[in-house]
Structure 1
Amino acid sequence: MSICLVYSLVFLVVSVLLFFVSMVLLSSMYSLILSVELGSFNSCSIEMTLLFDWMSTLFMSFVLLISSMVIFYSEEYMEGDIYMNRFIMLVMMFVMSMLLLILSPNLISILLGWDGLGLVSYCLVIYYQNVKSFNAGMLTVLTNRLGDVAFLLSISWMMNFGSWNYVYFIECMKDTFEMGLISIMILFAAMTKSAQIPFSSWLPAAMAAPTPVSSLVHSSTLVTAGVYLMIRFSVSLSYSVCLVLLFFSGLTMFMAGLGASYEYDLKKIIALSTLSQLGLMMSILGMGGYMLAYYHLLTHALFKALLFMCAGCMIHSLSNSQDIRLMGGLINQMPLTCVCFIICNLSLCGLPFLSGFYSKDLILEVVSMEEVGFYVYLVYYLSTGLTVAYTARLIYYVVCGDFNYLSLHLVGDSMGAMLKGMVGLIFFTVFMGSVLSWMMFFEFYVICLPISLKMMTIFVTLVGGWLGMEISNFSLSYQVKSKLFISSSYFFGSMWNMIYVSTFGINYYPLRVGSTLYEGVDQGWSEYYGGQNFFYGIMGASGIFQFLYKNNLKLFLVLTSMWVMFLLFFY
């Protein structure tokens, strides 16, 4: 029995147990705080505190379920890798860091899981060792370090309460200045981890990691850590902070949907769709719907993990090619993979009655019922239409049309661990949305909308699907060379030039100044007046003395003869 199968079975069994535990805790509304004393120094005790409630155990169940399928899937995907054990250990560390973050009601232990996610994600992004991976890994870890600074500041401010266990104080101290400042710091950290504007550029760059890692990162681990933490801190967010969060997350949702409509890299399209859904979760959090954000977090994790696994199967069959223009007609050669791929994409669009429909449609109807401005309403429905547009475009390129890859190829469904891992998730993608809606919501959401707003979601979905198909057909049929089209596609495809702002815009000028200082000061005047000139002076002086020491007898005879001639001449 392989190590991947063993870990997968263990994770699956623990996931099922945690699911039933979460249902028991949810039905009785019971929470358990477990505090273990690790040691004591004089009167100070060092304790490890764990919080077991229905929210943490249910999320852990989903994380372990997806991790079990991904590890089982990795056995075939990473076949032939000489460092397979190292890869599995890194994935295990990644999952354990996420579990520590989920269970911790203490900011110190959350920081351990938070930094564990950041550091292990860096190791996984640079797993394929090349220049692109190194650049992507550095961008990922440095962007996340910005949020870690805010997290450390929140820990220092938490000392005002005498404890770092935020669950004890967050309800009663939510109106104080200190808790407001801590919430702002946590919000900043969550925005960097969940890649909200202006920290969005690292998420598509992190696609340099192996596809099983991308499946974990974009479904239930790294990027969802910020959303989960904001759900925990949602009680303490003030009205103005919620407005700021709503504005930036709405922009992120719209920008990611627009960028995915111009992208041709299969994994980057799915990464941008993750960014769009993260914007949706954070924006509904900004409107006070933390249960809706948590509900969509769970349903999104299922179909997004499966979507990356399907994409990895296609990339694996096409000899690591990720360009969707080289695909086409894969339904004839990879029917099972394409069926899973289409179901996941339709769940992402919110097709009734898949799992994504229950959470996404509920969020849109709640937004329509709330007293929000026209900006929020417009951004929500435009982003929904763009989601369907890039999904229809992706299905059109990958599934329909002619096969555009090499004439000599071997493309087909994997009948091994990869397909079994995908089939293990497809049933959850179809049914889990309705199951969670029955279990999580004791009180029904009563939606009172006129028929025009009620049908708006369906209308936007249909228009977005039609637009995506038309754009795909147009770009395949005609070669557009106008400067306006090229510049607009370049602008929208680069996430509104955010890649250049967050990398080249920040790195160029410090590197230029550093290069000038290195040439003019370090290798210039400081060398002339410093060590280099001193070295040359000592070397010249030592050369003179060395000449004198080697020719001392000659010099003595010359000086003696000169002295004798001087005496004879004057006396």
Structure 2
Amino acid sequence: MSICLVFFFFFFILSVTMFLLSLYFMILEKTMILEFLLLNLNSSLVEMVILFDWMSLLFMSFVLFISSMVIFYSEEYMLGDLYLNRFIMLVIMFVMSMMFLIISPNLISILLGWDGLGLVSYCLVIYYQNEKSYNAGMLTALTNRIGDVMLLMSIAWMLNFGSWNYIYYLDFYKNDYIMQLISYMVIIAAMTKSAQIPFSSWLPAAMAAPTPVSSLVHSSTLVTAGVYLLIRFNFSFSENMMYLLLFFSSLTMFMSGLGANFEFDLKKIIALSTLSQLGLMMSILSLGEYNLAFFHLLTHALFKALLFMCAGNIIHNMNNNQDIRYMGGLINHMPLTCTFLNICNFSLCGLPFLSGFYSKDLIVEVMSMQYLNMFIYIIFYISIGLTVCYSFRLTYYTMSGDMNYMSMNCLSESSFKMLKGMGGLIFFVVIMGSVLSWLMFSTPYFICLPWLFKMMTLIMIMFGMFIGYEISKFKIYYMNKSLNYYILSLFFSLMWNMPIISTFGVNYYPLMLGNIYLKSFDQGWYEYYGSNNLSNNLKFLSKFFQLLSMNHLKIYFILMLLWLLFMIFNV
């Protein structure tokens, strides 16, 4: 039995166990905190603390289930890779780091899981070992380091409370200045991990990783770590923090939705859609509804994992080509993959009675009930429309029309292991939204809205489909010829120039300053008054003394002559 199958069965059984335990904890409203004493030094206790409640157990069961399907899928996707075992071990380390983060009510152990995610994600992003992968890996690692530093600073400030078990202090010290400072740092840390503006550029760059990794990263592990941390910390946030987070997350949601409509790379479109959904989770969390953010986190994990698996299967069959303009008519060649892709897209758009609908519709309706300004209301609905727009555009480009790649192609759905891995998820993509809504909310949300407000989500879905279809159908031939349109589309697909700002923008001025210092100081005044001039003077003096020592007779006579002249002139 291969290593993939061993870990598939292990993770799957563990996932089912965790799910049943989660139901048990949920029904009894039970929370369990386990403390393991690692070291007792005089009066200082070093403990490992583990938190089990319905939320951590449910999230772990989802992560393990998706991981098991991804590992099963990887066996065929990574077939022919000489280092398959190393790849699987990296994926397992990644999942273990996430487990560590989920069950930690302690900032130290959270940092271990957090840093583990950052380190292993770097190893996975640079897996293919080419220049593009190295650049993407460095961007990912360095952006995430900002969050790590913020967590380290939070750990330092947390010493004021006498313990790093933050879960005990959140509600109690809500108005404390130090707790607010820690909360601000945690928000910045979460924004780097969940790629909110201005740290968004690493998320599409991380697409350099193999597709099974992308499936795992974008559904339930790396990018959701930030949202999960904020869900745990939400009790300590003041109104100002909430408004700040709401502003950045709603902008992220809008920016990524707009960018996906101008992108042609299949994986990057799905990555930008992840960013859009993360913005949605963050924004509802900043409105105080952390339960809804967690609900959407779980439903989104399922359909996003499957969406990436479908994309991987298409890329695999298209000889590693990712450009959607070369695709077309795939429904004739890969019917099952395209069916899965369509269902996931519908779920992402929030089409009624699929899993995405239950969480997304609820989030938007709760937002509509809040007493907020027009900016948030409009940006929410525009973002929903943009989600449908790019999903429909993706469906149009990949499935309709004729094949645009090779006339001599060998497209077929012969990869049965990949299809089985995908098939394991499709059932849950359809039903899990309604199941979770019954399980998680013992009291249903009562939403009282006017008829037009109630229908607003469906209206935006229809409007988004129409715009997406029109854009795809005409392919904007006339606009493509316009330089202004080209510059605009480049600006949007580059996420408002954020990748340039966070790479070249960060490097340019320090490098320029370094060049000035080099020319003016190191090779200028320092050089003249420092080492260079000193060595020249020493060289000159040593040559002079050498001259004296080598020509002593001649020098003696010259000195005698000078002495005589001195005596004569003195007389």
Give the TM bin, normalised by the shorter chain: over 0.9
For residues 547 and 428 of structure 1, the distance between their equivalents in structure 2, rounded to whole angstroms, comes to 94
For residues 317 and 16 of structure 1, the distance between their equivalents in structure 2, rounded to whole angstroms, comes to 32
Alpha-carbon distance, 1:251 to partner = 0.6
Corresponding residue for residue 134 of structure 1: 134
Corresponding residue for residue 399 of structure 2: 399
> Is the CA contact (8 Å cut-off) linking 2:12 and 2:68 kept in structure 1?
yes
Alpha-carbon distance, 1:515 to partner = 3.5
Amino acid at match of 1:410: C
Corresponding residue for residue 446 of structure 2: 446
Amino acid at match of 2:498: M
Alpha-carbon distance, 1:480 to partner = 2.5
Alpha-carbon distance, 1:131 to partner = 1.6
Corresponding residue for residue 200 of structure 2: 200
For residues 426 and 145 of structure 2, the distance between their equivalents in structure 1, rounded to whole angstroms, comes to 36
**Superposition CA RMSD, Å:** 2.3
Deviates more, 1:27-36 or 1:501-510: 501-510
CA 1:537 to 1:238, structure 2 compared with 1: closer, same or farther past 3 Å? same
> Is the CA contact (8 Å cut-off) linking 2:76 and 2:415 kept in structure 1?
no
> Is the CA contact (8 Å cut-off) linking 2:479 and 2:485 kept in structure 1?
no
Amino acid at match of 1:486: Y
For residues 378 and 187 of structure 1, the distance between their equivalents in structure 2, rounded to whole angstroms, comes to 25
Query: Is 1:429 the counterpart of 2:425 in the alignment?
Result: no
Alpha-carbon distance, 1:114 to partner = 0.7
Amino acid at match of 1:487: I
> Is the CA contact (8 Å cut-off) linking 1:70 and 1:421 kept in structure 2?
yes
**What's the CA shift string for 1:164-185, capped at 9, x where partnerless?**
1011111222122222221111
Amino acid at match of 1:225: A
CA 1:526 to 1:436, structure 2 compared with 1: closer, same or farther past 3 Å? same
For residues 501 and 331 of structure 2, the distance between their equivalents in structure 1, rounded to whole angstroms, comes to 40
CA 1:544 to 1:85, structure 2 compared with 1: closer, same or farther past 3 Å? farther
**What's the CA shift string for 1:293-323, capped at 9, x where partnerless?**
0000000000001101111111111111111
Amino acid at match of 2:52: F
SS at match of 2:448: coil
Corresponding residue for residue 319 of structure 1: 319
Corresponding residue for residue 121 of structure 1: 121
CA 1:534 to 1:213, structure 2 compared with 1: closer, same or farther past 3 Å? farther
CA 1:547 to 1:437, structure 2 compared with 1: closer, same or farther past 3 Å? farther
For residues 234 and 247 of structure 1, the distance between their equivalents in structure 2, rounded to whole angstroms, comes to 16
SS at match of 1:87: helix
SS at match of 1:47: strand
Corresponding residue for residue 25 of structure 2: 25
CA 1:240 to 1:12, structure 2 compared with 1: closer, same or farther past 3 Å? same
Corresponding residue for residue 569 of structure 2: none
Amino acid at match of 2:301: A
Deviates more, 1:276-285 or 1:524-533: 524-533
**What's the CA shift string for 1:244-285, capped at 9, x where partnerless?**
111111111001100000000111100100000000000000
**What's the CA shift string for 1:528-559, capped at 9, x where partnerless?**
6555676788889999999999xx9xx99x98
Amino acid at match of 1:226: G
Deviates more, 1:501-510 or 1:377-386: 501-510
Deviates more, 1:210-219 or 1:408-417: 408-417
**What's the CA shift string for 1:205-229, capped at 9, x where partnerless?**
1111111111111101111001001
For residues 517 and 409 of structure 1, the distance between their equivalents in structure 2, rounded to whole angstroms, comes to 58
For residues 425 and 230 of structure 2, the distance between their equivalents in structure 1, rounded to whole angstroms, comes to 27
**What's the CA shift string for 1:443-492, capped at 9, x where partnerless?**
01111111111111111100101100100112165562113312221221
SS at match of 2:480: coil
Query: Is 1:470 the counterpart of 2:439 in the alignment?
Result: no
For residues 217 and 338 of structure 1, the distance between their equivalents in structure 2, rounded to whole angstroms, comes to 22
Corresponding residue for residue 15 of structure 1: 15
Amino acid at match of 1:176: D
Corresponding residue for residue 569 of structure 1: none
> Is the CA contact (8 Å cut-off) linking 1:310 and 1:422 kept in structure 2?
yes
Amino acid at match of 1:222: L
CA 1:547 to 1:392, structure 2 compared with 1: closer, same or farther past 3 Å? farther
> Is the CA contact (8 Å cut-off) linking 2:347 and 2:429 kept in structure 1?
yes
CA 1:529 to 1:272, structure 2 compared with 1: closer, same or farther past 3 Å? same
Deviates more, 1:257-266 or 1:127-136: 127-136
Corresponding residue for residue 102 of structure 1: 102
Corresponding residue for residue 337 of structure 1: 337
> Is the CA contact (8 Å cut-off) linking 1:35 and 1:50 kept in structure 2?
yes
For residues 492 and 296 of structure 1, the distance between their equivalents in structure 2, rounded to whole angstroms, comes to 26
For residues 255 and 14 of structure 2, the distance between their equivalents in structure 1, rounded to whole angstroms, comes to 38
**What's the CA shift string for 1:150-176, capped at 9, x where partnerless?**
211211111111111011111222122
CA 1:396 to 1:509, structure 2 compared with 1: closer, same or farther past 3 Å? same
CA 1:543 to 1:21, structure 2 compared with 1: closer, same or farther past 3 Å? farther
For residues 275 and 297 of structure 2, the distance between their equivalents in structure 1, rounded to whole angstroms, comes to 12
Corresponding residue for residue 412 of structure 2: 412
For residues 337 and 271 of structure 1, the distance between their equivalents in structure 2, rounded to whole angstroms, comes to 19
SS at match of 2:496: coil
> Is the CA contact (8 Å cut-off) linking 2:18 and 2:58 kept in structure 1?
yes
Corresponding residue for residue 480 of structure 1: 480
Amino acid at match of 1:80: G
CA 1:414 to 1:546, structure 2 compared with 1: closer, same or farther past 3 Å? farther
Alpha-carbon distance, 1:409 to partner = 2.4
Alpha-carbon distance, 1:71 to partner = 1.1
Deviates more, 1:399-408 or 1:256-265: 399-408
Alpha-carbon distance, 1:505 to partner = 1.5
Gaps of 5+ in 1: 567-571
Alpha-carbon distance, 1:519 to partner = 5.0
Amino acid at match of 2:385: G
Corresponding residue for residue 455 of structure 1: 455
TM-score (norm 1): 0.93
SS at match of 1:455: helix
> Is the CA contact (8 Å cut-off) linking 2:265 and 2:322 kept in structure 1?
yes
Deviates more, 1:535-544 or 1:283-292: 535-544
Deviates more, 1:484-493 or 1:52-61: 484-493
> Is the CA contact (8 Å cut-off) linking 1:18 and 1:60 kept in structure 2?
yes
Percent of residue pairs bearing the same amino acid type: 63
> Is the CA contact (8 Å cut-off) linking 1:313 and 1:414 kept in structure 2?
no
**What's the CA shift string for 1:316-366, capped at 9, x where partnerless?**
111111110011111111111111111111110011211101100111111
SS at match of 1:46: strand
**What's the CA shift string for 1:65-88, capped at 9, x where partnerless?**
111111111111111222222211
1:4-403 to structure 2, matched below 5 A, reads 4-403=4-403
Gaps of 5+ in 2: 562-571
